[in-house]
Structure 1
């Protein structure tokens, strides 16, 4: 069994070199068509004194704050991260860091957050919070979030919550305990967002980050949850590495949410198969096969099983959804999904989503997904 698990998890870290020491080397060379994204950072990672590194995978014992600007190249392919072959990268074809700095403390972070929000017009003062998963280096979480925000055309304020993952396949239990340690810091972050000038908050968590999110929401005092709830636009749980029985227990304790959680699953997720083997054979939420049971708990299920995966583990398919964010937002806002008790049926939803994108291009590349139990196809222009 150990040999099988090692082989599967090795797929997750299969790239020849990963961005670690010096990964945020700055490059301010102009590049026509490149777009820069400013990201606020809240982390329980330890500061790293090595040049252009900022944070490592060890636990800080306190919450640190930072800000970074990352440039996406004009040749960017949706869903991908164009990693530099050598640092500091070429902004014409690579993701590159344009700026990065520590923020002094929580007060400085709160001030920067509200400043960013006030620079946006009313009705656009939104925050997008991302919580990464297992086996994620600091730069990997930052660049993945930048990719998703860029492909989604997100205009709000991106906030990355990055906990102390070592980014090593053999450190699954270390990462799980690091996520547990980060619960109080994430609770404070959610409380700060609820008290900020943000009009709406979208939360996206990936893999083990969903375990952290659910445990944090569960431990929050009811009074704090009530303050947060009106600001929540959507909670998206991508490939959640959560014991399905634990998720059911948490949802029963919390009750059916006023706005359903969006659970992104893929039944061919190899990383979650390995996690299931490590966890006594109990199914993981992100690979759960009973969509109807999840909807009864107050979730909208997006099934990506039939979507082609760019990574060998099929664990990061959610990255492809960003390109279709406007269409998905419209579908999820449809009246058939606004009330758990009034779902109109799979055909109705399928026709609605298809209508949003079906005529988007004369030549189409299809991305097959399922929402609830409805076969739905999204299309993007291509050749």
Structure 2
């Protein structure tokens, strides 16, 4: 029965993947003011395809883009309506504008200029690293959606690594994230000295593995560098073996603070990953903080908000109720500006402290009327 369900899931994924080219992401300047515009700076080591888009191929040369995303105004909070071949302004997420930056120097110059144009208390930078089975546009749209729905002030930066954007591309993606470590490290080093007040690094799914591998190699080369460069790390539904994560975290001398891990025991994608990886426990479905008790981390359990299969692998950014809860009383701002303790971070919920680790269990009952 389980084998049948797994085959059905994979076949459905193949059918959906075959319906359209996931690399197709044209610029649509005809949005006509029908959506809210969110800027995203994109750094990628994806190779260009023959028709000029960025695909799953790997490139030794980094590309830098400044992209404008048109976000539909009439949509549910947390939703991400897209259409690859029939996108309509005002109904779907669209790339409404794009300009290339003049290489690495142009990227740093543009970032400094953009940050200096913001008020001093908004010169923050959120860096989003996408996960498994994501196309170039998928990651850009998700970055824009997070900035918009959480009303995050500052600039959005997206690191787009060469995922196959295919449901059977897991092995390709595992190799690609290892390939992408040096590029992410170079980007994080470039961000230093650009005038950012706070730099928060967010990794989703396999992107969380890329984040941890990169921070580990940075600390080996330059002890303490991750903590000096970053003002916070957030791992959303991390697809990492728990034992591997502990080894990575212990190799980093000082984890950046706060260090938050969003988990859900109902995450269907991680349940499948656990089976594919020999039933190893995945960090993103961890139920108890005891296994991380010696690490200075905050585990945020959002199981109660994982109400649909499609939503369960990105509950932290796709659940309207959870977005509303985390947005209460500037909880996110407090989380990124204070030491890594839930009582000081402003996260509402049932708090359990196990030695160095803190677990916060959130539920819809905490929502204010």
Alignment TM class, shorter chain as reference: 0.7 to 0.9
- Post-superposition offset of 1:329: 5.2
Q: 1:205: how far off?
A: 0.7
Counterpart secondary structure, 1:20: coil
Q: List aligned pairs for 1:160-199, cutoff 5 A.
A: 160-199=158-197
- 1:263-342 to 2 correspondences below 5 Å: 263-312=261-310, 314-320=312-318, 321-327=322-328, 330=331, 333=334, 338=339
The equivalent residue for 1:26 is 28
**Deviation sequence 1:306-329 (CA, Å, 0-9, x none):** 214454372121223545543385
Write the distance in 1 (CA, Å) between the matches of 2:84 and 2:55. Answer: 21
Q: Is the 8 A contact 2:264 2:285 kept in 1?
A: yes
Match of 2:355 in 1: none
* Structure 1 segment 114-133 matched on structure 2, within 5 A: 114-133=112-131
CA–CA distance in structure 2, aligned partners of residues 60 and 191 of structure 1: 20
- SS of residue matched to 1:215: helix
Alignment of 1:1-383 (within 5 A): 5-8=6-9, 17=19, 20-31=22-33, 34-50=35-51, 54-84=53-83, 86-87=85-86, 89-221=87-219, 224=222, 226-255=224-253, 257=255, 259-312=257-310, 314-320=312-318, 321-327=322-328, 330=331, 333=334, 338=339, 350=349, 372-377=359-364, 378-379=366-367
In structure 2, the CA distance between the partners of 1:103 and 1:134, relative to structure 1 (3 Å rule), is same
- State the match for 1:358 in structure 2: none
| Structure 1 range deviating more: 10-19 or 224-233 | 10-19
Of 72-81 and 304-313, more deviation after overlay is shown by: 304-313
Conserved 8 A contact 2:304-2:363: no
CA RMSD of aligned residues (A): 3.1
Is the Cα–Cα contact under 8 Å of residues 127 and 202 in structure 2 kept in the other structure? yes
SS of alignment partner, residue 170 of structure 1:
coil
Aligned counterparts of 1:351 and 1:243: Cα–Cα separation in 2: 26
What secondary structure sits across from 2:121 in the alignment? coil
Q: How far, CA to CA, are the matches of 1:294 and 1:286 in structure 2?
A: 13
- How far off is 1:167 after superposition? 0.8
Deviation at 1:245, TM superposition (A): 0.3
- Secondary structure at the counterpart of residue 292 of structure 1: helix
Greater shift in the superposed pair: 78-87 or 56-65 = 78-87
- Gap change, CA 1:311 and 1:376, over 3 Å in 2: closer
Q: What is residue 354 of structure 2 aligned with on the other side?
A: none
Distance (whole Å) between structure 2 residues aligned to residue 157 and residue 72 of structure 1? 16
Under a length normalisation based on structure 2, what TM-score does the superposition of the two structures give?
0.85
245-254 vs 176-185, greater mean Cα deviation: 245-254
In 2, distance between residues paired with 1:43 and 1:333? Answer: 30
- After superposition, the C-alpha distances for 1:135-171 in whole angstroms (9 at most, x for unaligned) are 1111111111111111011221111001000111111
Specify every segment of 5 or more residues in structure 1 that has no aligned partner in the other structure, as ranges: 353-370
Write the distance in 1 (CA, Å) between the matches of 2:273 and 2:286.
Answer: 13
Q: Deviation digits for residues 32-53 of structure 1, max 9, x if unmatched? A: 5x210111111110012416xx
Question: How much does 1:58 deviate?
Answer: 0.9
Gaps of 5+ in 2: 352-357
Partner Cα distance (2:109, 2:236) in 1:
30
Q: TM-score, normalised by structure 1?
A: 0.82
Question: Do the aligned residues in 2 keep the contact of 1:130 with 1:205 (CA within 8 Å)?
Answer: yes
Deviation at 1:122, TM superposition (A): 1.1
Per-residue displacement from partner, 1:45-100 (whole Å, max 9, x unpaired)? 0012416xx2011111222211211111221211101224754x332222222112
For the 8 Å contact 1:191–1:228, the answer to whether it is kept is no
For 1:15 and 1:325, how far apart are their aligned partners in 2? Answer: 33
Q: Deviations over 1:2-34 (max 9, x none)?
A: 7654444567677575662433341334235x2
| Contact 1:9 1:274 survives alignment (8 Å) | no
